[in-house]
Amino acid sequence: MTTPVRIDFVSDVSCPWCAIGLRSLETALERIGPDIAAEIHFQPFELNPNMGREGQDITEHITEKYGSTPEQQEQSRAMIRQRGADVGFTFAMDKRSRIYNTFDAHRLLHWAEGTGRQKELKHALLEAYFTNGEDPSSHDTLLRAAEKAGLDLRAAQDVLESDRYAEEVREIEGFWQQHGIHSVPAVIINQRHLISGGQPPELFEQALRQIAAGA
């Protein structure tokens, strides 16, 4: 018997642990197979909502925000690369030198949910930034991701050239913050169970099987 499960995946496209967490979640679902029918909804969260369009040097930004040294940052990057490789995601750290504003990416993702191809766009955006080193605030980058995800380019461009979904995205961001989500990824299952951070597939698999058994 298949158990339907709703998963709200609160994340940012410039968060490496979100890329790891998503692939871990998907690996867990692949292992579980047909026992669970998961419906994933990607919810917006901006790590740097006040970031300007020009972005900021990533080493400078992380030093300012977290106080970590370049050596600590290199150790963290090595760990992220390995964790990504473990779940089949490639981090090309040498191509990613800046942090950018991601609000337009979230507007596009919000629109894509209604097309049924939100997950494909999410994957394309994560790959664009972390694997290819592209600027996720650039409309050219966003449109390439939309094309890769199989979305209507004209419709995607119309969204980006307007302020459509800006209010909705702000409201959704506020909703999750008001409900205690202040770091990502945050994975909420059936609107009741929270799993925080880029956890390994085994943890997601265990949690999902337990939740499904008690559904």
Cβ contacts of 61 within 8 Å, gap of 6 or more: 48, 99
Average pLDDT over residues 186-202: 97
Question: DSSP strand E in the chain: where?
Answer: 3-11, 36-44, 56-57, 98-99, 186-189, 193-196
Reported as a pLDDT band with limits 50, 70 and 90, residue 44 is very high
Nearest to 7 by CA among 45, 47, 36, 31: 36
Reported as a pLDDT band with limits 50, 70 and 90, residue 215 is low
* Residue-wise DSSP of 106-145: HHHHHHHHTTT-HHHHHHHHHIIIIIT---TT-HHHHHHH
- The string of pLDDT tens digits covering residues 112-170 is 999 999 999 999 999 999 999 999 999 999 999 999 999 999 999 999 999 999 999 99
According to DSSP, residue 191 is labeled T
The tally of CA atoms less than 13 A away on the side-chain side of residue 1 is 4
Nearest to 102 by CA among 143, 162, 55, 152: 55
- pLDDT the model gives residue 214: 85
* Residue-wise DSSP of 95-107: G--EE---HHHHH
pTM score of the predicted model? 0.96
- The string of pLDDT tens digits covering residues 117-129 is 999 999 999 999 9
Amino acid (1-letter code) at residue 157: Q
Alpha-carbon distance of 12 to 42, in angstroms, equals 9
Question: DSSP strand E in 12-127: where?
Answer: 36-44, 56-57, 98-99
Alpha-carbon distance of 212 to 98, in angstroms, equals 41
Is there a contact between 32 and 196 (Cβ–Cβ < 8 Å)? no
Alpha-carbon distance of 172 to 33, in angstroms, equals 31
- pLDDT the model gives residue 176: 98
